[in-house]
Chains A and B, each alone.
Chain A
Amino acid sequence: GENVEQHPSTLSVQEGDSAVIKCTYSDSASNYFPWYKQELGKRPQLIIDIRSNVGEKKDQRIAVTLNKTAKHFSLHITETQPEDSAVYFCAASRANFGNEKLTFGTGTRLTIIP
């Protein structure tokens, strides 16, 4: 089955700086990679996703990059703000292969230092 590793487990950055979280996956057939954000005491929410037919996707201050050859993808947050403090989870799946399911990483706790 799929195995997703996520690094780092914790990350602290100064407000205004950039943050990068990296994930690797094992199943070369995986083709869909979402990122979820879970603020303290709240539910996970999808913030961005990328499919294997593109190498990068941006949405305002967040972007995700995908390297299919190396089987890794990353979340980039620029101009970080206090509200970016949360746990971020990456995930991977074989979309449209049947019996597809998301396999999640272990999460990264991001703390933005004011």
Chain B
Amino acid sequence: DAKTTQPTSMDCAEGRAANLPCNHSTISGNEYVYWYRQIHSQGPQYIIHGLKNNETNEMASLIITEDRKSSTLILPHATLRDTAVYYCIVNDGGSNYKLTFGKGTLLTVNP
């Protein structure tokens, strides 16, 4: 699986958009970008994933650059409950489907 690089921590004001970057410069053509988050004392929670097109669901938007070497997870209106560790993971989603977590980004949403 390709390696990802994320900032250790970020802050965001409540109600503002939170933009979480991820670098995955060694991503291969068949690998997807997955985002999970982990709120304190809970298991990780799936947010969104994409291959090369931008994706949006009820939780977030995923913007993947044209060369696919980086992506940004966007929480459009962050709330205090969005404070969590956010993990960016690259995986081919095939028969060897296995998520390998790094340390992620601790997003703190401030009132």
Report whether chain A binds chain B. Answer: no
Residues of B within 8 A of A (CB): none
